[in-house]
Chain A
């Protein structure tokens, strides 16, 4: 199966005065797993639907390989789509659902059946071929939807929050399975989610979207550790955005002059665990909460700003004894202090 790269070139889409996509450009490599991540209304689903052919961009171009598909009918794009609610056909059984795209392509009946069965085995649904769709569990429906989207060997796969209806444990299993399926097939995949953990776990690259624009596109690690905007920093996890004036370096050197981002879990309470170029934040303990794998401390700096400090339970020997109102210092190693370009918004 040959997968293709996708080029999104200055695509815009507005609904009346509401701008859903604002001059979005993005290159996705052949075989890449790219996630569009953002809050609801950020434009991620609109972009996916434009690729699928259900939304016509006001301007800009969409290329599949070298081919311009901006105005191509959805049924001629050869793109497999997995919908949020699965959109299985309730009047067909599992086998007929999966064989449907093959029937449309006039594949001989016997071959279609054999290919559909092989694909069902691939998503671990052997033996359920004759089952009624209504009799399946959420996870099984999800797998049928996956099988139906890959059985005709599309060159691109689009997934619109496919796991959002599943419970937590199943969701985590499916995250690994979808990723493994992607690696086996080598198919270019664009995955939409609002769950940052899911994006981090599954993706080759993440494009963080907000208000119709791509805020940052990068590897999961860089998106998490080196966000380019305050929005990305806060969307990806517990981020503290502090002015350089609120921190001091342990060695007394001048802190950099930009807005700084320090993740809650980057802090240590013990100065010996960080280097001499670490920064220190001093304040009064406002609140503490035990969250199982870690403690979350809320520290009020002298300027009044609150900072979240997350200490792994294994390293938090003294946390239980800390009392609200007491003065304390949290240290973050220099490597974990990230300067965000742009002003303190």
Chain B
């Protein structure tokens, strides 16, 4: 990979050191939490004086945290299941329409990803309040789908732009209706992009806190919401244990997807 660079020893050392620094800068904030989570102390301290697994036990033993974990996983799954098909159909129609119409639709569709989250949450709160949906799981789901659709579109649009649409016409001429052409010809060939889009949508929901803080309540609290609240009320290393688990889950999922894409 670095063959193109000068063979000079010094230059290579500088280059590798710089790359290592960038990596460290990117990863340290995430990794610093890991030792914290194994601390035996009641406080968040670095480096820890003694080690234990008590904060992991605390997390798995807490009904509140378990409920939030369940809510987050359900929300993430539902968000991906709703947002990805929606985004796929939207991207197909944008691709087929072309021109200014498609560009305007794309602009509108991508707005949620560029609007400040807090504004989106406030707006959503009023819309959902009018429908008496504030505090329901469904309300939060709506918010997460709104956020996940642009994310899925960003993954799917370029994949569809490379797609050979004559194949769809061929399938149609051979007797396939629209649904069968999409299901039998487009979807199998976009497998990897759809997988990426699903993962991104799932992670978008899993990671989302602002909408959850505004809309979710009580039993429907999500993990990120509960994490914020617990940081505010009682700072103990449970939060570090959760962060470590969270990071591990995300890394595992991303690595699995990345390996599948390579295969």
Contacts and interface: CB of A to CB of B under 8 A. Distances in A.
Contacts of B176: 75, 104
Interface stretch (B76-84, B112-120, B164-172, B202-210): B164-172
Interface in A25-76: 52-54, 73-75
B175 A83 contact: no
B95 to A, nearest CB: 15
B219 interface: no
B166 A83 contact: yes
B177 A75 contact: yes
A47 to B, nearest CB: 15
A75 B175 contact: yes
Contacts of B164: 85, 87
Label chain A's interface by main secondary structure. Answer: loop
Contact of A73 (B166, B167, B169, B177): B177
Interface in B34-80: none
Max chain B C-beta neighbours (<10 A), residue from A78, A91, A152: A91
Nearest to B165: A87
Q: How large is the interface on B (under 10, 10 to 19, 20 to 34, 35 or more residues)?
A: 10 to 19
A152 B175 contact: yes
A101 B175 contact: yes
Interface string B152-167: 0000000000001011
Contact of B185 (A74, A80, A89, A149): A89
Max chain A C-beta neighbours (<10 A), residue from B164, B174, B175, B188: B174
Contacts, number: 60
Nearest to B191: A91
B167 A87 contact: yes
B174 A101 contact: yes
A85 B165 CA distance: 11
A81 B173 contact: yes
A80 B176 CA distance: 13
A49 B160 CA distance: 22
A91 B169 CA distance: 16
A75 B185 contact: no
Given A90-B189, A104-B176, A152-B175, 4 more contacts: A54-B172, A81-B173, A101-B174, A149-B173
Give the 10 A-B CB pairs with smallest separation, nearest first: A87-B166, A101-B174, A87-B170, A104-B175, A74-B172, A81-B173, A91-B188, A87-B167, A83-B166, A75-B175
